[in-house]
Chain A
Amino acid sequence: MSQVNLPSAIPDEPIIRECVSGDRRSQKMLYEKYASKMLGVCLRYARDYQNAEDILQEGFIKAFRNLEKFRFEGSFEGWLRRIMINTAIEMHRRKNYLYPLIEVENTDLEMVDENAVSMLAAEDLMGMIMSLSPGYRTVFNLYAIEGYSHKEIAEQLNISEGTSKSQLARARYILMKMVTQRTGMKRKAIGQ
């Protein structure tokens, strides 16, 4: 097999240093080490698989071009993840559909069976995320998954903190609805 076999135990630093010098083989090694993880990140911000691969491609190109800026002070995975997120946001912004306001019908929430929820596969949840509109998806990802504050999200997306909060609330509402529908539980929410 001529395929490059890269155990995840191989440290990043020597590979990165080779990548900085332009060694294509090392770049491919680094790509293969992180491509799957990063595609997982991209999928959360993408509308479909093809779009996620586009983000992945552009993100890796930027990463290789900027690799000399990585100072080995934090984890490379975190640095790469941030580039992917930024790339995804910019690609959405470029197409001007980052913040379409979708009116959420004011339907009652339904009871959720937590045991059933725990049975949901990651693929199911990923599908739910991807079905959100880009604005909701991005804010929810940044807040709930990446751990950004509303202030940071507002700065990142050039929106107000209030907009970030309202988008998050709507995203949560929609996701909750999807989860309850998926788990098949149809009960009125408490207090509704």
Chain B
Amino acid sequence: MGNNFDIDELFRNSIREFEAKPSKDVWSRIDRSLSKRTGKAPSFNIGRNLALSFLFFTLCLIPYPGNQFASRGAHSLQTLPVTRLSDPGLGLNHNPGPIPEKLHTGFLQQTLQDQLETAGQYTRAQAKADEASLQTGTQTPPVPEPLKRHDFAASQPMSLNAHMLSGSDNADLNERDADISVHSMHLRGMSIGLVANYNQTSLLENENIFRNDRSIQPTLKFGVSKGLSIKYNFNNRFGIETGYLYNSVEGQNYVLSDDNQIVQKSLVLYYDQIPLLFDLKIAHISCLTHHPVSLNYIAGVQYGSLRQYRLPQEKRYETDDAQYKSSEWSFVLGLDYDIYLSSNLYLTAGARGSISNDISTHSDPHDQYAQRNFVFGLHGGLNYVFRNF
């Protein structure tokens, strides 16, 4: 006899393999719960992300309404009517008369060449030949057929129209000339600006809707990022952009929906980000501001350095190891407008979205599935251009 026997061992040996038969209705209740589960709609998170993605890409695919601007008197590169300058009916088959000096130099000359080159089927040499013919009154070589298809009357841009006017029309140009001479379409140059993003961010998808065996319901989380932007436009068509976004908030909000309580949780990650983006531009002169407006289709990559993260307290499998990788790579798509306020200042406004690589280190045994930051939001900025129009 004695009291020094191992009570732990007594219980371990006796009851560890203890079995008891459950009542029959336990399976019935499980069966009912699983049936309800089967009919469950896709999670809010997935549905929301799909909807936002669809909206985003739909917006990207909508053709830019260049003709509308052109028909209201604004320039449009997209609807450039590269027509034979001496085509009958355009007022150029008669002696064009002297071209105002202003139209031969500066913005108009460059604009004409830029526009024609942008059209992709008209060489610089041809442009010079056309220009020479305007001065001498001789006809230019025929322009390739595809370039004739534009409806000139519907889309005549002021710059080309000016070339086509005869001397007797010069008086009509006076007012326009003054306008045109200060509002050309040279987007080439470098700019630096302050930018900010207001994002809706999510991290957990269907595979992660259980945290530590508890079902969760993802909810909206919004985050802000701000920083510097550096852009360089190679020409009116292409540009490149980088910058530095400080303390960009990403992560996920969710609720634990237990029987007796609903608890709001927030998983937050803070990143410093450096994007490298390429812009495809469609520019025109706004009839409202008389300055360029550029629609930019944006695509590129973004590097993010994890500053810190905050995990919900209920997470029971927190380990000493880092739960999230220190680096994040994202693919970025965007659509925004550069709205020039003056020759050196323009606003940027639009929307951007990104999806990252798997940022989880999977040190938590319950987080075996990929966790990707999905960010979608509004983008805005104010930029200064280091050049003169």
Contact = CB atoms under 8 A, between A and B. Distances in A.
A39 B22 contact: yes
Contact of A111 (B1, B26, B29): B1
A24 B197 CA distance: 47
B258 interface: yes
Contact of A86 (B4, B38, B212, B215): B212
B1 A53 contact: no
B2 A53 contact: no
Contacts of A155: 316, 318
Interface string A107-151: 001111110010010100110010000000000100111000000
A165 interface: no
Given A36-B22, A144-B8, A144-B11, A87 B16 contact: no
B247 to A, nearest CB: 29
B14 interface: yes
Given A31-B27, A57-B29, A111 B3 contact: yes
A interface secondary structure, majority: helix
B10 interface: yes
A61 interface: yes
Interface in B6-24: 7-8, 10-12, 14-23
Contacts of A13: none
B373 to A, nearest CB: 22
A129 B11 contact: yes
A112 B1 contact: yes
A123 B26 CA distance: 22
B20 A40 contact: yes
A117 B210 contact: no
Interface residues on B, range: 35 or more
A31 B212 contact: no
A34 to B, nearest CB: 10
A188 to B, nearest CB: 10
Contacts of A49: 20
A61 B259 CA distance: 14
Given A66-B210, A94-B260, A94-B261, A40 B18 contact: yes
A122 B20 CA distance: 11
A113 B3 CA distance: 8
A37 B2 contact: no
A101 interface: no
Given A87-B213, A109-B3, A190-B3, A61 B23 contact: no
B14 A120 contact: yes
A122 B213 contact: no
Contact of B258 (A94, A109, A117): A94
A2 B258 CA distance: 36
A172 B1 CA distance: 18
A35 B341 CA distance: 72
Contact of B3 (A39, A66, A110, A175): A110
Contact of A64 (B10, B34, B258, B259): B34
Given A35-B22, A53-B22, A61-B30, A112 B366 contact: no
Given A31-B27, A69-B368, A145-B15, A43 B2 contact: no
A44 interface: yes
Contact of A83 (B1, B14, B213, B260): B213
B17 A125 contact: no
A90 interface: yes
Contact of B7 (A56, A60, A62, A179): A179
Nearest to B212: A86
B1 A113 contact: yes
Given A57-B33, A111-B3, 16 more contacts: A28-B27, A28-B31, A39-B19, A39-B21, A53-B23, A57-B30, A65-B215, A66-B210, A90-B213, A90-B214, A94-B260, A112-B1, A112-B5, A125-B10, A126-B15, A129-B11
24 contacts: A22-B38, A27-B34, A32-B27, A35-B26, A35-B27, A37-B17, A39-B19, A40-B15, A40-B17, A40-B20, A52-B20, A61-B30, A61-B34, A61-B37, A71-B368, A90-B213, A94-B259, A114-B1, A126-B18, A143-B8, A158-B313, A158-B316, A175-B11, A187-B1
